[in-house]
Structures are given as structure tokens and as C-alpha cells.
A and B are shown apart, each in its own frame.
Chain A
């Protein structure tokens, strides 16, 4: 059952973004920024967490989930450490996603070559 919900919810988010891409002049980079910001706003409003509980990976795998995690980390840091948490929470929460992407991408550049060769 959780697989079906993940498929439907994750698919639906992607479908909405595809419609946005096809009907507006938004570039992929902008779309990603919008998704992350939307996720953290929805997280701050307390809407994303219940949604993610229900939708599982359908809500946590899309970049909106990344945005939600950003705010979640921010909130935890503020609760725990007060003002200084404002400057800690975001990076703490996004550390795993960003570090893993940076590290693996860099390692990938050792092993793989551009496919655009003539």
C-alpha cells in the first residue's frame, strides 16, 4: 500500500512540475529552487509533515521534501540552541543530501568522461 501511495503522490508532484515546465518559460534550475522553497514554506506552516507521514517516500524523495527537512532542522536547532540555531539548522539538516551529492559527484569526475566527445 505504501508503495502505491508513494507512486501516486510522487508521480503527481512530478506531473504538476512537468505541466509547469511545458506551459511557462521556467528553467529546470528555477524549478528546483521553487520546489525547495515551497517545501520549506509548507514545512513551516506545519502542512508538510503530516503529508509526508502519509505519503512516505512520495513526499520525502521530491525536492519539496528536501525543503521540508531544511525547515525541520532549522526548527529543531532553534528549539535546542535558540538564536544561534538560526545559523546552524539549515546546513545541519541539508548536510546529508548536499555532502553526499558533492562527494559522489566529485568522485564520479575521476572515473567518468564526458559523453559529448566528437
Chain B
């Protein structure tokens, strides 16, 4: 940070002092490496994630309006969002949105759906069982495993507390 001088590749090549040359080189690498703008990424994730949730809210409201109770409405919303996410994954659009939205497309349930659909399409050529069958669980498998296990542990705690009459 001591010198704010713009370093070019020429500077590095022409520099005879090794120590200074190394310094220039490091500066050059730092300048050339694309900067990951964290505030910008965060804003994009906020926007995309927020929009997906608004779409979810719209479907939930619609299903409740159509006569479903709240829990059922949310389940129908899940199915709808999963379906749409997989459709978008199939036509290659979800990946583009994900490139822009980052965590905004990963955090909603649509990200979970995408993590199944993308490898299913991708590894189709490797066969029904070892291609699609295995690869579909690459990311979803751990999520299911730890989700089930975690809720099981919490369930045991709840069960014991219930036996003891605490809850």
C-alpha cells in the first residue's frame, strides 16, 4: 500500500532489482485480480432472494384464496416453486439467474430443487442408476441426511422433556 503507482508488466520485466521486481509483481497481481465486490453481491442476493420469496408469497396467497388452509397452501407453494425452478434449470435459465443472484438463488427451496435437477440432466449419459440415480443426491443427499438427523436429535430431546413433563 506504500506506493499507489500503477504497475504494468513492462515495469516488472525492466526492473533489475529482484526484491523490487517481486514487489512490483505482487502489486501487479493484486491489480489484475478481479475484485469480488461484497456489497454488490450482497445487494444482488437480497434482490433475487427477495423476489423469489415474493413469488412464493403470491402463490401462498393464491392457494389460500382458493380454499387451502395455511399449511397446505405453503405445501402447494413448495411444489410450485420446485416445479418452476426445475423447469428453469432444464432450459438453462436458473444457472444464469444464479450467476447474478448468488445466495439469492441458493437459499430458497428453489436452490434445493436446482441442486437435484442440474445433475440429473447433466449426468444423464452416465446411465439411469449411476448417472441420474446417484448424482441427483450429490447435494440433496447431505441436506436430507443432516436435516433428518438433526430433527431426530431435537425430537429425542423433545420426547424426553415431554416424558419428564417439562413441555
Contacts and interface: CB of A to CB of B under 8 A. Distances in A.
Interface in A57-116: 57-58, 60-63, 65-67, 70-71, 73-75, 77-78, 82-83, 85-87, 89-91, 93-94, 96-98, 100-102, 104-106, 108-109, 111-116
Given A61-B52, A61-B109, A67-B147, A23 B38 contact: yes
B89 to A, nearest CB: 7
B12 interface: no
Given A28-B106, A115-B92, A6 B139 contact: no
Contact of A32 (B59, B83, B139): B139
Contacts, number: 262
9 contacts: A6-B53, A10-B49, A18-B42, A32-B106, A57-B53, A58-B57, A96-B78, A101-B86, A106-B120
B155 A86 contact: yes
Q: Name the prevailing secondary structure of the B interface residues.
A: helix
Interface of B: 36, 38, 41-54, 56-61, 74-75, 77-79, 81-83, 86-87, 89-92, 95, 101-104, 106-113, 115-117, 120-122, 124-125, 132, 136, 138-140, 142-144, 146-148, 150-152, 154-159, 162
A57 B54 contact: yes
A79 B109 CA distance: 27
Q: Name the prevailing secondary structure of the A interface residues.
A: helix
Given A10-B50, A61-B56, A62-B49, A97 B109 contact: yes
Contact of A17 (B107, B117, B122): B107
Nearest to A20: B103
B120 to A, nearest CB: 4
Contact of B151 (A32, A70, A104): A70
A113 B148 CA distance: 32
Contact of A114 (B52, B121, B150, B152): B121
A9 B57 CA distance: 12
A11 B147 contact: no
Contacts of A58: 50, 53, 57
Contacts of B146: 33, 36-37
A105 B137 CA distance: 11
A12 interface: yes
A48 B44 CA distance: 25
Interface size class of A (residues with CB under 8 A): 35 or more
A64 to B, nearest CB: 8
A62 B57 CA distance: 12
B151 A74 contact: yes
Contacts of A41: 150, 154
B165 to A, nearest CB: 14
